[in-house]
Structure 1
Amino acid sequence: MVAFLVTGNDSGPTGPRALTSDEANRLAITRFRNYQAGGRAVTIIVPSTAGGLVINGSIDYRAKLGYGVVHGTGRDTSSNGLIEWTATTVLVHPMANAPAEAPASPPGSDWYSRPLQTTGSALDTSLAIALSLGSDRPDNAALLPQNGATWTGQDQVDGHQVDVMTGPDAGAKPGTAGTVRYWIGSDGTMYRVQVKVASEPQPVVIDFDTEKYVPVQPVPGVSPPR
């Protein structure tokens, strides 16, 4: 089970509490930071009662295109392989002996295409959430506190000191506040996102910059969305 932990100095402040103006501004630009960067390396942990999935790869936030390798945890290798996805389509390339990292250039054949499911699939919900974490413009900082955004604590992610905040919906369960948590650095960089999804009791966890970002190339013969 993936647990939410906030660590820090025991004598420091504890949340939740209202955002300061600086925190609201950092939360407002965090998805825009991903877009400005062009792309980010990601590790997506997909929960499932039948055994989870871990996707290691990259997302191009300007082309709205993700690509990586899938490994099952606590299950057989039937779900292992390469994956590429857009906001509407998922392409999978099954591999019983999937590599630790996806090849820089996707293979030219043996891909299977299907529509991305909008409900009922923890995998597809996780893919859609990860893709939505980039935006070509900042959010409205003034509206975030009105919509329930809060500061919940401090933490460290891969040596980065971060503030943990609840924030804009990224595909969370409808009608539930505080189900999306962002781990955000002092300059607004996003390092982790945790989201409760409708189809699973455990959250999706997305970690950024776990590996070096590799530019995403479309599967041969498949054009990225415009």
Structure 2
Amino acid sequence: MPKARWYIAGSCVMALAAAGVTAAAVSGSGSSSRTRALTSDEANRLAITRFRNYEAGGRAVTITVPGTAGDLVLTGSIDYRAKLGYGVVHGTGRDTSSDGLIEWTASSVLVDPMPSTPAAAPATPPTTGWFSRPLQQTGSSLDSALAITLNLGSDRPDNAQLLPQNGAMWVGHDQVAGRQTDIMTGPAARDTAETTGTAATTAGTVRYWIGADGTMYRVQAALASESQPAVIDFDTQKYSAVPPTPAAAQG
């Protein structure tokens, strides 16, 4: 079976990923007056939003990755405690050569190209047909979105006092699936900066749609080579437990 195009290589230059690379902030939707400093309540909600994902254990997601040949839409689930994602990829406005199942960690990607890709990923993934590769740190807008999504969970809250000092801002109000949210900008790769000593300023590279209790409902991140951002929407379907990585991966 031929390997899908997104297994072999990405077509776009990655501008934002776990490596701490930054990108320009993108404009949010919904009502907005002007960007302003966070209130203490907003800073507290932004500080706990990644912890909320970890606390929940897992979240259902839809990840939309733009591309010149058409979008890739990944529908699946993220286990924020195991740092593992699983789902199904469909092309939108493009051919089906990129369609298939996908499972990934912070360092590796498994893909199973399928001629007839199901609408939802099966609870028990196939044991054959998988191909394994490293998660690309550069050169793939898909891998950039995968890395960003995994990094949206943390086993502890961020420092609410440091977020405004690092440039986090309030952008506006919006509704996501009927839920009222505040749109805030914030550092894009806090984990990486802490572990690698990256000094680059990442404030404003990602926008978060956050509910009244700190729950994250949408994240939007700009990609350098695309005119449209990658968008990660949460709770777009019922959460399904992420199965273990298939053992029968083929090189």
| TM norm. shorter chain > 0.5 | yes
Question: Residues 121, 178 of structure 1: CA spacing in aligned structure 2 closer, same or farther, 3 A cutoff?
Answer: same
Equivalent residue for 2:240?
214
Equivalent residue for 1:60?
79
Q: Alpha carbon RMSD of aligned pairs, Å? A: 1.8
Distance 1:167 1:5 in 2: 13
Shift of 1:154: 0.3
Shift of 1:218: 1.4
In structure 2, the gaps of 5 or more residues are: 1-25, 191-199
Distance 2:240 2:86 in 1: 9
Shift of 1:6: 3.1
SS at 2:158 equivalent? coil
Total equivalences in the alignment = 215
Shift of 1:126: 0.4
Instruction: Deviation per CA, 1:34-72: give whole Å up to 9, x if none.
Output: 000000000000011121100000000000000000001
Q: Are positions 1:190 and 2:224 aligned together?
A: no
Equivalent residue for 2:207?
181
Distance 1:103 1:20 in 2: 43
Taking structure 2 as the reference length, the TM-score comes to 0.81
SS at 2:188 equivalent? coil
Question: Residues 92, 40 of structure 1: CA spacing in aligned structure 2 closer, same or farther, 3 A cutoff?
Answer: same
CA contact (8 A) 1:120 1:199 kept: no
Distance 2:140 2:226 in 1: 9
SS at 1:216 equivalent? coil
Taking structure 1 as the reference length, the TM-score comes to 0.90
Q: What amino acid does structure 1 have at the position aligned with 2:223?
A: V
In structure 1, the gaps of 5 or more residues are: none
SS at 1:106 equivalent? coil
SS at 1:198 equivalent? coil
Equivalent residue for 1:20?
39
Tell me which of the two structures has the higher relative contact order, counting C-alpha pairs closer than 8 angstroms and 6 or more residues apart. Answer: 2
Distance 1:139 1:79 in 2: 36
Shift of 1:199: 4.0
Distance 2:156 2:64 in 1: 27
Shift of 1:179: 2.4
Q: Superposition pairs for residues 69-84 of structure 1, below 5 Å?
A: 69-84=88-103
Q: What amino acid does structure 1 have at the position aligned with 2:105?
A: T
CA contact (8 A) 1:166 1:179 kept: yes
Question: Residues 177, 142 of structure 1: CA spacing in aligned structure 2 closer, same or farther, 3 A cutoff?
Answer: closer
Question: Residues 199, 175 of structure 1: CA spacing in aligned structure 2 closer, same or farther, 3 A cutoff?
Answer: farther
Distance 1:166 1:53 in 2: 25
Q: Superposition pairs for residues 134-213 of structure 1, below 5 Å?
A: 134-170=153-189, 177-213=203-239
Distance 2:150 2:202 in 1: 21
Q: Are positions 1:90 and 2:113 aligned together?
A: no
Q: Are positions 1:128 and 2:147 aligned together?
A: yes
Q: What amino acid does structure 2 have at the position aligned with 1:30?
A: T
Distance 1:34 1:176 in 2: 21
